Structure 1
């Protein structure tokens, strides 16, 4: 879910009757990650889970299944003894969001210091939850780049902030969870039902990774960079509240409606046992590897352009550019632009041969951002002519696959942001390959040097994509795009018309796309 404001422009003059403003900023003393957590239970388990011969190596475990990814965070929260640092673009006012906030409250009650950063775009109606959590001892909640209006109505908040559009158009898209400075979870998942297979309408294919070792120290430094940024405000300053018994009681009543932990399988799709069980046994099965953390400066949101130009996007594209054999990209919102097309077209292939580049993205039916899809669609023909292997997730196809998640009766959408390079490096993070991630939003990503992690990823996405996505191809005369659908019985259906297209969809694109700058998508 991302900010799409261009469609409001035509209504501004009619609807914007007044503009809100933020209260005066309050100076806060810098606060940093707690040192000396190696002696905690999680610190000892992390040490015992890493190779003893090379202290420079970190350890990683892939978290492809939603249920395991959520329960891993809960298992770490329940075992934390010193600190929890959490940073999210979106925390839903739903079952998953409330369970997560309840665990933070319970950890604080045990004396754990809890720091939570939430981007303020999608917090409409959540002030009782967030200010209530902040009212408990040992908890502090801060909002990134807050909107001045605290209205429960999302559109109303945006309209009341249009006088400050250049600022609020920049958002924090990072997702990070750190327990006792020992273990961390990063990736693409927000804290809401649809990202953990708990929605009845649409659930997202997504991906996280668990890390331990030196990389967690780097993540803690990245968290502190945001926590102490002037773009991050204490929620009580923004909302004009103070901690109180009433706020705590209101929070308790709200989270009482949340369910218990969601059920996960005894073995996930990669044959791994639950992280909680491994923590109880005193050792987590991690793959040792070196890794780089890419993180945008929080100053990237500065409309005056004072941020470091070395962004997560530029650094990740630099890794792609070094590929010698193959690049496989998974990006739900994929707009290559002329720079990306130049990179793909520079890979010379003979007529009829396939490029070593594979792209997996959303179809028109699975995307939750149709304007992004419409912009991406402009580049499909060129990508196919360059030999790129192009797949689009099918909203009804993906749930048939046993490899992409347990969707229940819902449809599927893609939200994972990942790539493999030369069967050696893995990228996992929050960054989409589009203009908004490149220019507007802050992002976080990991590049892990591990052929051992690439192998299960290749198998997972090959097995899942074959039955869960359309394979795009050129028509025999090369003038049109066709969509291959692979059925479970082995049949291959070729669609000559775009699946899930409609005349109304085309009219919307025709009306709205001319208003949208590509960097807004």
Structure 2
């Protein structure tokens, strides 16, 4: 989300400085008209595929009471291996939906596997939000020109893809639409197994970036719940906001971008070599883009093995999906309803009928509570209203609006313990977003919400969220990216959403609600370890904030944003108030 949040802030704050000629030039770029979008849907039934048979075998072997199974993917290796496994196992279809797919080493191996799958006859559909498709990352769009692969870009920005600055200018005339993004993440094979959660595709999400790696969590789902995920995918794929790549860019333009990227990278390597012994930026100051993996890190990707799905520890449990409808993002021509005529809120689902008092009935009730709301985040706030004893939240970007704060206040009034793990200023990849959290910090503490902020300077956070691997050690900075809620120790929510106004009002999101005490306990155990050993606890003492040092860290309590420079803190203090919460 770094680029999007920085883009929104720069654009909103800088629009007044743009000259009329620039605005007029930006307004000349338009999206193509009368685009053909052949309708296609997910595999009608996964029966007969190897994955469907495997799901049934695993459920029988483990005497699963419920038809859908889940595996928490809490470390980069297992998260990467699960996607490799789905690619290799797919026989008929692969459907990928992402906010960002970065053109780097880890994604390169995944996408080569996707191309190989298409060549053996697997139908591949890739749906990608258009915001990051500039420069090197635009090269991912070459997939669209591979036989057997269809690729569409959701809510595209008109104009050339050579630079972020050019894209910012092209978006200036349509700011409100351009800042709304498809934030969903799905990786589905044969409509039988799929992965959803917080991770995009890229080195930093799989623990091999040199300087900055995300701490994230996904879920591998199997069984009928995957068909719900596929229905959500189809609703976006066949939406008027999804543009086939060929309508936006051709082979020649992609080749020009590739040549330019190679030239720029060669020049950058030369500059890096000249300044290899120069001073490093002070802690907390903005850093240059990640240099990419070392040879050893790149080798680790090639050596990574697919997850053994035959021995994966599936937990069989009732679950429902929440997904924002595509119409949450307005089409270029406007509109406020889904293609099916449903209101622009959640994709409507009908869970299987259940007897009162059964676990599935409890999930149905939770689903109804949530789906009565207009968005995924609003639905989760409704669920918070049902919480009775304990609420634990991970939200890397945590910008509570009035209704969120009211939900927390009401929960506290009922005696609910509320704990939130979010990024510290030092671990936040978008420091400006930290302002929207920091301005509400004292109010949250006053109502009794417990706040924990991830400590960025650590190599061993893997003990809390699965092994981060040797590739993420050394000087790598940890950045929280998981989006998780655990309610009353029995309902686990894993999805793409943050608890912020951007996810609630602008971006589209998706989440799984899983009724499982076992999975909830596993998640809580990892979160509590992270809170104790890898995070600062923020408290109020004598009218001032104090950051309590993580357990066993040998650090001292501090009274200012830890691990940050005075320059960064001053910069945010001066300019932070200019950025409204809904853009952070």
Q: TM-score scaled to structure 1, two decimals? A: 0.89
* Distance in 2 separating the partners of 1:504 and 1:305: 44
Q: CA RMSD in A?
A: 2.8
Q: Are the counterparts in 1 of residues 177 and 330 from structure 2 also a CA contact under 8 Å?
A: yes
* Distance in 2 separating the partners of 1:366 and 1:264: 29
| Partner residue in 1 for 2:124 | 114
Output aligned runs, 1:317-466, within 5 Å: 317-348=381-412, 356-397=417-458, 399=460, 402-404=463-465, 405-406=468-469, 407-409=472-474, 410-466=476-532
* Distance in 2 separating the partners of 1:128 and 1:186: 23
Distance apart, 1:511 and its partner CA: 4.2
DSSP 3-state at the match of 1:161: helix
- Gapped runs of 5+ residues in structure 1? 266-273
DSSP 3-state at the match of 2:318: strand
Greater fraction helix:
2
Q: Are the counterparts in 2 of residues 118 and 144 from structure 1 also a CA contact under 8 Å?
A: yes
| Partner residue in 1 for 2:571 | 508
| Partner residue in 1 for 2:86 | 76
Q: 1:359 to 1:377 in 2, by over 3 A?
A: same
Output aligned runs, 1:9-408, within 5 Å: 9-13=15-19, 15-16=22-23, 18-19=25-26, 20-51=29-60, 57-126=67-136, 129-241=139-251, 259=298, 262=301, 276-277=307-308, 279=309, 282=310, 284-302=312-330, 304=334, 306-307=336-337, 308-309=344-345, 310-348=374-412, 356-397=417-458, 399=460, 402-404=463-465, 405-406=468-469, 407-408=472-473
Distance apart, 1:199 and its partner CA: 0.6
Q: Count how many residue pairs are aligned between Structure 1 and Structure 2.
A: 498
* Distance in 1 separating the partners of 2:389 and 2:138: 52
Q: Which runs of 4+ in 1 moved over 6 A?
A: 52-55
Distance apart, 1:414 and its partner CA: 0.3
| Partner residue in 2 for 1:271 | none
Distance apart, 1:135 and its partner CA: 1.5
Distance apart, 1:150 and its partner CA: 2.6
Distance apart, 1:386 and its partner CA: 1.6
Q: Deviations 1:381-434 (Å, cap 9, x if unpaired)? A: 122122211100011146456223333120111000001000000010000011
* Distance in 2 separating the partners of 1:139 and 1:169: 28
Q: Are the counterparts in 2 of residues 45 and 284 from structure 1 also a CA contact under 8 Å?
A: no
Q: Are the counterparts in 1 of residues 548 and 556 from structure 2 also a CA contact under 8 Å?
A: yes
Q: 1:108 to 1:259 in 2, by over 3 A?
A: farther
DSSP 3-state at the match of 1:155: helix
Q: 1:375 to 1:305 in 2, by over 3 A?
A: farther
* Distance in 2 separating the partners of 1:365 and 1:208: 24
* Distance in 2 separating the partners of 1:219 and 1:428: 13
Q: Are the counterparts in 2 of residues 222 and 295 from structure 1 also a CA contact under 8 Å?
A: yes
Q: Are the counterparts in 2 of residues 336 and 434 from structure 1 also a CA contact under 8 Å?
A: yes
Q: Are the counterparts in 2 of residues 119 and 144 from structure 1 also a CA contact under 8 Å?
A: yes
Q: TM-score scaled to structure 2, two decimals? A: 0.79
| Partner residue in 2 for 1:269 | none
* Distance in 2 separating the partners of 1:199 and 1:320: 36
Q: Are the counterparts in 1 of residues 424 and 561 from structure 2 also a CA contact under 8 Å?
A: no
Q: Are the counterparts in 2 of residues 68 and 264 from structure 1 also a CA contact under 8 Å?
A: no
* Distance in 2 separating the partners of 1:389 and 1:263: 42
Q: 1:154 to 1:296 in 2, by over 3 A?
A: same
Q: Deviations 1:365-387 (Å, cap 9, x if unpaired)? A: 00012121111111111221222
| Partner residue in 2 for 1:268 | none
DSSP 3-state at the match of 1:121: coil
Distance apart, 1:261 and its partner CA: 6.4
Distance apart, 1:181 and its partner CA: 0.8
* Distance in 2 separating the partners of 1:233 and 1:501: 42
- Gapped runs of 5+ residues in structure 2? 263-294, 338-343, 346-373
Q: 1:264 to 1:151 in 2, by over 3 A?
A: closer
* Distance in 2 separating the partners of 1:80 and 1:99: 16
Q: 1:366 to 1:243 in 2, by over 3 A?
A: closer
